């Protein structure tokens, strides 16, 4: 297949590209290399991808439609028959709290960017589109979160922007028949993860003897899902499904305090923890119902938290100089 992957230098995007390349696909990666977090991590991931055959990189912001269309024309010229089979949109402004400070850029990337890619698919007859969405769209809801639940009450601009992108996908499936899979990811972690996420920060701070400040009491729980599992589910979702919204999660909820304990056991170091007031945008508990993913994708997670953190620590130890320089 010939696949465009936006957000290819991102945490999940890089792993998805790796899996696509392993199975022999021709992959065209787009990324604007933004400074939403320390860009050195994005360059680190991109360096790995550039070594792989059948991968091409284009620096591009999907919210800039003229630039996007120019890049897509170049990509088409590299494809036999000038046709793209699938677009996987993993480009996003992520992060709940940051979206409250600058909601405009979240809507520009997550909504306008998605619209631009969908319009490209419509105009060029691309038959498959995959959108990375988020468990944050559920807000405070009954657990486990199911795909048929109402998602009308988001708690952040980030979640709202992702819900808007989901709505656009529904429209483009209904009007133009584009086969679309909307994947709701649950708290993704793993090697070379995002430095604004708890697992990356906890590993860095515990190893370097820095204080951990938790907003809340640490008993808030997340469905921590290992990046390899998320990437595998994303690749499986390329199949023709019509229009489907699918949870990808571990189906296990773990508290922040438990995550810290696992890292302490694995490193033999004691965390310095301070708790402060909880943030109003934080959901108390997330937990995925993954029956639908098992049924229609034949997917289920393979990595538990212990193994995932062990792998993350192994990557940290192999890349200490890089991680110590990363701003979190």
Tell me which of 102 and 145 has the higher pLDDT.
145
CA-CA distances (angstroms) from residue 267 to 52, 121, 142, 321?
33, 47, 35, 17
- d(Cα 78, Cα 93) in Å, to the nearest integer? 29
65 C-beta neighbours (distance < 10 Å), count: 16
153 is catalytic: no
Distances (CA, A) of 164 to 3, 115, 131, 154, 159: 24, 10, 12, 11, 9
* Range ranked top by mean pLDDT from 96-110, 141-155, 249-263, 278-292: 249-263
Mean pLDDT of the chain, nearest integer = 95
**End-to-end Cα separation, the chain, in angstroms:** 37
β partners of residue 57: 29
For residue 214, the tally of other CB atoms under 10 A from its CB is: 18
Reading the block at residue 210, the tokens are 């820095």
pTM across the whole model = 0.95
- Residue 5 near residue 27 (C-beta atoms within 8 A): yes
Q: Which of 129-133, 277-281, 297-301 has the lowest mean pLDDT?
A: 277-281
Q: Give the Cα separation of 276 and 61 in Å (integer).
A: 37
Q: pLDDT digit string (tens) for 156-186?
A: 899 999 999 999 999 999 999 999 999 999 9
Dump pLDDT digits (tens) for 307-323: 999 999 999 999 999 99
Burial of 193: CB neighbours in 10 Å, binned 0-12, 13-18, 19+: buried
> Which of 37, 107, 138, 158 is flagged as catalytic?
158
At residue 132's C-alpha, the angle toward residues 131 and 133, to 5°, is 105
What percent of the chain has a predicted confidence (pLDDT) above 70? 99
pLDDT for 216: 86
Does the pLDDT value for residue 292 go beyond 90? yes
Taking only the tens place, the pLDDT of each residue in 16-25 is 999 999 999 9
The answer, yes or no, to whether residue 279 has pLDDT greater than 90, is: no
Domains of the chain as residue ranges with CATH: 2-187+225-251+284-303 (3.40.50.720)
Give exposure, 135-159, as e/b (b: 16+ Cβ within 10 Å). bbbbbebebbbebeeebeebbbbbb
What is the model's pLDDT at position 275?
Answer: 87
Band of pLDDT at residue 63, cut at 50, 70 and 90: very high
């Amino acid at each position: 297949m010939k696949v465009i992957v936006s957000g290819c230098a991102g945490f999940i995007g890089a792993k998805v590209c790796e899996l696509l390349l392993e199975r022999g696909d021709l992959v065209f990666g787009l990324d604007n290399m933004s400074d939403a977090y320390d860009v050195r991590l994005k360059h680190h991931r991109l360096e790995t991808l550039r070594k792989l055959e059948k991968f091409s990189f284009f620096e591009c912001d999907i919210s800039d439609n003229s630039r996007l269309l120019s890049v897509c024309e170049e990509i088409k010229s590299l494809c036999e028959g000038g046709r793209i089979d699938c677009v996987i949109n993993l480009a996003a402004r992520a992060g709940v709290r940051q979206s409250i400070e600058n909601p405009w850029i979240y809507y520009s990337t997550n909504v306008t960017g998605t619209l631009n890619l969908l319009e490209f698919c419509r105009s060029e007859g691309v038959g498959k589109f995959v959108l990375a969405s988020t468990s944050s769209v559920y807000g405070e809801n009954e657990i486990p979160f199911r795909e048929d639940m109402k998602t009308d009450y988001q708690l952040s601009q980030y979640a709202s922007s992702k819900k808007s992108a989901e709505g656009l996908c529904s429209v483009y499936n209904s009007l133009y028949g584009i086969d679309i899979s909307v994947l709701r990811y649950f708290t993704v972690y793993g090697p070379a993860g995002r430095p604004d996420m708890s697992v990356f920060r906890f590993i860095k701070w515990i190893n370097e003897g820095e204080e951990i400040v938790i907003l809340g009491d640490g008993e808030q729980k997340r469905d921590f899902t290992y990046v390899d599992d998320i990437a595998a589910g994303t690749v499986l979702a390329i199949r023709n499904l019509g229009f489907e919204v699918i949870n990808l999660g571990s189906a296990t909820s773990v508290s922040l305090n438990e995550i810290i304990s696992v890292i302490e056991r694995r490193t033999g170091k004691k965390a310095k923890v301070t708790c402060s007031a909880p943030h109003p945008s934080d959901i108390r508990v997330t937990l995925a119902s993954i029956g639908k993913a098992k049924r229609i994708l034949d997917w289920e997670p393979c990595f538990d938290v212990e193994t995932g953190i062990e792998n993350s620590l192994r990557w940290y130890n192999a890349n200490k100089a890089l991680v110590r320089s990363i701003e979190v």
